[in-house]
Structures are given as C-alpha cells and as structure tokens.
Amino acid sequence: MFKQVLLAATAAGANELRRYFNGDFAIHHKEGVNNLVTEADHAAEKAIMDTIRASFPDHYILTEESGDLAQDSAFKWIIDPIDGTVNFAHGIPLCCVSIGLEKNGEMILGAVYNPFVNELFVAEKGAGATCNDKPIRVSTQNKLLHSCLVTGFPYTYLDQPNGPLTVFEKLIRKGVPVRRLGSAAIDLCWVAAGRFDGFYEHQLQAWDSAAGFLMVTEAGGRVTDYKGNDYSPYQPHLLATNGAIHNELLAVIQGGSF
C-alpha cells in the first residue's frame, strides 16, 4: 500500500512538471541568490500531497515549499516537488520529483522520477533499488584517481576553509572528472546506477537527499556525513559512493590530499 501510494504521488507530481515545462509560468525568488520557486513547484507539491493525504491523512509531511506539516505519526513523507528547479526554470531537462518515506526515523521507501528522460528510480529498505523496474548496482571502481564524480555547490560559504571550491580544485588538479548536474536527487540515483562513482555536497536539505540516499545504500553503496558517520538527511553534509572509493574521497574532503 505504501509503495503504491508513493508511485501514484510521484506520477502526480511528474504530470505537473510535464504540464509546465517550457511553458509560461511564474517564477519567484526565495531568500538568497538563484534560490527559485516556480508555479510548477507549487502545483506539483499540491498534487503530491493530495495523493498522499487521500490514503494517509494522518501522516507527517515535510516538503520543500510548505515546510513541516507535523502530525503525531510514525510515518513521514519527505517531498521535493522539483529537485533541480533552476534547471527546470531554464528548460533544462535535468530535474525530477523526489519523495522519501520514513517510518520511526528510518527511511523505508524512496522514489525519484525524471519524466523528461522517463527514468523512475525506486528503492525499498532491504529489497534493493531499481531503474524502470530493472535492478541497479553501484560501480566497482576502486581508485579515486580513476573515478567520475559529481557534486553541487551551495550559494553561500563557498570560500570556507576546505570548502566546496577547495575540494573541487584538489580533485580537478589531479585530473579527476567532477560534474555538476544541478539536482542532488539525480546525482544520488546516478551513483546508485553506477554512472558516477561518488557524489559529495556540503549543504543539502532533507528533501534533497531523503529518497536518493536510500537508493545508493540499497544499490550496494555507502552514504555518510563528512565525519564518516551514518548519514542522516537532517544534517547538511553528504558523501555517497560505491563504497570502494569512500575512505579515499572522505580523506580529501576532510582536508587531505591524494
């Protein structure tokens, strides 16, 4: 029942993305530079929440645009109606709906859907991860120097000691390819699918990573914070890898070299 509702909610949100994409829609600016919210974000969020509430009216919901909609429930739905809003607003089809479901603080289900390339990633705790119903696994690359990585940059504190620019520079000066797609949820799914060997980002919100980090772990990868501790979506730092390069990349992030 939970998975059925998750997939229905994901599809409902994706329908709104399709409806608005490359059309005329209102764009507003939230706090900070290039922190956008569009008419499509709100429409997708409403469609997703309406679908969930039709079956589970008493469940807790956390969503990017509406924030905490708290309920006394063991279940929490964590929703990003459009992950990659800047891409979406510019007609770049690297954006997605991302929904995770927690039970008693543990992520049990996640779905990430990019309707523009028709890729639906789904993960279920203990049951693996799939892309369009086919099982996916992380890569087997075991050397950081030969890895292909992906990252994102926050719009603030870029110049902090050993911050995003410093880590990026260390990697690219060694010739390690580091991409930036503009959607953390897609980044995580592509690590899970073995397209990237690792993803790191210095500042994420729970809705950015809730579904995607489960995708990586269920595909055989490893996800931690920047101290190497088990990952929680309620803290900002994320490192997700195939596992084989994790410690090596973590050392670079922590200030080391390679």
Structural domain boundaries, residue 170: 144-253
CB 99 within 8 A of CB 82: no
| Residues 26 and 151 placed together within one structural domain of the fold | no
Residue 258 in domain: no
Evaluate if residue 136 carries a pLDDT over 80.
yes
Closest by Cα among 190, 183, 9, 188 to 101? 9
What is the pTM (predicted TM-score) of this model?
0.95
| Residues 126 and 150 placed together within one structural domain of the fold | no
Q: What integer best gives the mean pLDDT of the chain? A: 93
End residue of a domain, out of 71, 104, 135: 135
Q: CATH number, domain at 80?
A: 3.30.540.10
In this predicted structure, what is the pLDDT of residue 36? 61
As for how many domains the chain has, the answer is 2
Compute the average pLDDT of residues 184-208. 97
Q: CATH number, domain at 153?
A: 3.40.190.80
End residue of a domain, out of 135, 169, 196: 135
In this predicted structure, what is the pLDDT of residue 160? 76
Instruction: Give the long-range contacts of residues 205-208, CB within 8 A, separation 24 or more.
Output: 205/64, 205/233, 205/236, 206/62, 206/78, 206/233, 206/234, 207/62, 207/63, 207/64, 207/78, 207/79, 207/80, 207/83, 207/98, 208/80, 208/83, 208/98, 208/184, 208/233
pLDDT classification of 127: cutoffs 50, 70, 90: very high
